[in-house]
Amino acid sequence: MLFTDLTFLYFHAIVVALRWWLPPRAAGPLLLVASYLFYLSAGPRYVALIFGATVFAWCVGLALSRATRPRALLGFAVAALLAMLAWFKYSAFAAQQVAALLHLPRPGFTVALPLAISFFSFELISYVVDVRRGTAPERSLWRFALYVSYYPHLIAGPIVRAEELLPSLRAPKPFDDTRFGDGVYILLIGFLKKSVLADRMAPWADAVFSDPSAHGTLGVWLGVLAYTGQIYCDFSGYTDIARGASLTLGLPLPENFDWPYLSTSITEFWRRWHMTLSRWLRDYLYIGLGGNRGGPLRQYRNLLLTMLLGGLWHGANWTFVAWGALHGLALCAHKLWDTALRGFPLAQRVRASRPYLLLAWAATLLTVAAAWVLFRAPTFARAWSVLLRLTHDVAGVGALGTPTPAAMRSAEYALLALVVGHLLALRGVGWAVHRALPPIARGLYWALIILVCFVFAETRATFIYFQF
């Protein structure tokens, strides 16, 4: 059940109607049933897996609160949850690598990836670690099961910690028209990002990455920028739909994006991009490795290891590891640069100047876009071919290749709209307009967004982050 399907809209509308019609004490059971029905819509194969993992983590949480050897129990729980994730996500990949290393025949087995396993595994790990750190465990199994399976955030995040959702589940909020209206607006903006912007950039990006040799420098540059815009609009669009849908149910979810392409450093980018994952990697991996303790060399080592594992979390492919390594090296380089200039007042004044900030923004965006090539390309050879085309005009600037130039123009218009959106975000225009309008005008504003989605939407099969 995709968020962009009419089936989901009907399903969610029914759940919203029941949520506010039934008494507050029925909200939890209703949402739990709805969440498992939502997961079942993708197939019944792995419902037992998510339920079994939920019961396991819940029992561990209760045991940790009174365990005599909590460290050993926590280690066992984290290892078990990671083993579950590793088996389904990386076992086939690992077998292929071992076979290639030993010059053995390529193994024929594959393991189907359960829906949302990367996200609910991290949420369960964060829960047991937080209980070990002193957070009170959740006593209600059904409430904990709802936290894990809650359908707006289940498939592709945001990665929600127990402390961010469980308090709202324990004490459901009464209906609030302002919160409900904000939810509708966020949901509509998510549809706009996904169906109008991301899906109009996708055909040109797909064409360039499938056959970069068919395009000249201009076409390849546009393809890389189109994917840069596509992955942001696709993933942040999903998050907006999730957050908006959840707000209409009276449950706020954490923000996951803060206009990351406005960043003026790679460090700032990771504070704005997939923020719930960034905070998870920081709090449960980077700090666990030692964080900033032990001097700069250990700090850089910890940072690089964190980003390597963060890249691997996205998928079983060496290109994801290389993408994480590139970001890790960029983060280390920025920290070195920041440390080297910290003692020079003149350098700090220059860094605060508008020309420097503009240059830093351009350098950051180009670094991020170049790294997306590794993220998108299926192999290193394909990634290298794309990167070469950015600087070597083998086919000629005017050789646009296939598909037709109409797909290129569509990507250009979508990128222009994304740039305008970022510029408006600097002024906070969107929310200012939404909240300043009276109810009737606000309804017309929503209708206009729906009309734009209806007229300009392109249909894509799924969201990019569903594969992770």
* Residues tagged active-site: 314
Query: What CA–CA distances, in Å, run from 177 to 183, 249, 283, 437, 449?
Result: 10, 11, 35, 14, 20
Give a three-class secondary structure readout of the chain: CCCCCHHHHHHHHHHHHHHHHCCHHHHHHHHHHHHHHHHHCCCHHHHHHHHHHHHHHHHHHHHHCCCCCHHHHHHHHHHHHHHHHHHHHHHHHHHHHHHHHCCCCCCCCCCCCCCCHHHHHHHHHHHHHHHHCCCCCCCCHHHHHHHHHCHHHHCCCCCCCHHHHHHHHHCCCCCCHHHHHHHHHHHHHHHHHHHHHHHHHHHHHHHHHHCHHHCCHHHHHHHHHHHHHHHHHHHHHHHHHHHHHHHHCCCCCCCCCCCHHHCCCHHHHHHHCCHHHHHHHHHHHHHHHCCCCCCHHHHHHHHHHHHHHHHHHCCCCHHHHHHHHHHHHHHHHHHHHHHHHCCCHHHHHHHCCHHHHHHHHHHHHHHHHHHHHHHHCCCHHHHHHHHHHHHCCCCCCCCCCCCCHHHHHHHHHHHHHHHHHHHHHHHCHHHHHHHHCCHHHHHHHHHHHHHHHHHHCCCCCCCHHHHC
Note whether 387 and 369 are within 8 A (CB): no
Distance CA 231, CA 239 (A): 12
The token pair at 7 is 């089936």
Q: At what angle do helices 318-341 and 380-391 cross, to 10 degrees?
A: 50
Distance CA 409, CA 32 (A): 45
Show Cβ contacts of residue 8 under 8 Å, excluding neighbours closer than 6 positions.
1, 2
Distance CA 191, CA 449 (A): 9
Query: What CA–CA distances, in Å, run from 122 to 30, 82, 125, 139, 173?
Result: 25, 9, 5, 20, 27
